[in-house]
Amino acid sequence: MGSHSDSSCFSCFSLLGGTRTSATTLPLGALPQALADLGKAQFDQTKMRKLVSEATYTRFRQAAKNGEKLSKKDKTEIANAMFKWATKLGACQFSHVFYPMRPAGVGVLGSSAGMKHDSFVSLDFGHLENLKPLTVGFDAGQLFMGETDGSSYPQGGLRGTHYAGAWTAWDMTSPPYVKDETLFIPAVLVSQKGEALDEKTPHLRSMDAINREGVRLLRLLGDTKTQEVVSNNGPEQEFFLIDREYYVKRPDLIACGRTVVGAPPPKGQEECLNYFGTMAPKVKAVLVDFHTEMWKLGMS
């Protein structure tokens, strides 16, 4: 079998004025704006490492990985860094965002997100005057934990009134992000007794169990080096685009988020009409807008 060389191909390419420069080596200004903004609105570990001390960053990584407690000093340093970063992007408020357990089909999005919004503005209760002045800030308590009403989850009315309170806590394995002038903090939702009221807490507990038992199994098989078993999940999301003028005429879509009544679609699954077809310009525009915003948030 003879060897293959692509030098002739790239020689022709060079004659046309092209180069073999890889996209990953291009200067930032040479990238399309959508790619240059990749991860811009996400407070990932790279940004945190630049904005807090190395010691604080190391302890944060250990806390996120092993559940170790952070000191109040470390939490305050992280909160201050995140506040400065978020306000530079235009954030004026923050919200713990979580995914409460809901009956299937509730709301247009089914199991939609829950959010508890607060602003960066509060009263200065340490001031001596009776009429407290307003102050701007974001402290560690607001970042790492929040309190909300959990009486409606999962089915509503199952717990006594004095147990109705619930707690949100920042999931430190998920980086916060800024969107629509709001700093969103991915969080879990648990009851006062630690019962999971959201969909994420059982998922995180399952990951811990797989890690713990996976390492134990590897030890029994003779592996003495592996320290962690990481679970990866690759979801596939299918969605449907519907013109708004048609959507508002469909009470089933508005109330249930899905088709309950109506005629069959003009293109079914019987043949290959739905696959690799021509994309309408307005559909492409939606997808471009969508992935541009998702890339800013560090999602792909």
Q: How far apart are the first and last CA of the chain?
A: 40
What integer pLDDT is reported at residue 174 of this predicted model?
94
What integer pLDDT is reported at residue 26 of this predicted model?
58
CA distance 75 to 82: 11
From the list 257, 250, 254, 204, the residue with the least C-alpha distance to 231 is 204
Residue 146 CA to chain centroid, in angstroms?
18
Residue 245 tokens, joined: 């003028």
Taking the domain 39-102+111-201, which CATH number applies? 3.10.20.70
From the list 223, 141, 156, 151, the residue with the least C-alpha distance to 192 is 151
Residue span(s) of the chain under CATH 3.10.20.70 come to 39-102+111-201
What integer pLDDT is reported at residue 28 of this predicted model?
59
pLDDT, block means (10 residues), the chain with 300 residues: 40 37 57 89 96 97 91 97 97 94 55 84 89 93 90 66 82 95 95 87 92 96 94 79 90 84 74 72 92 89
What integer pLDDT is reported at residue 109 of this predicted model?
46
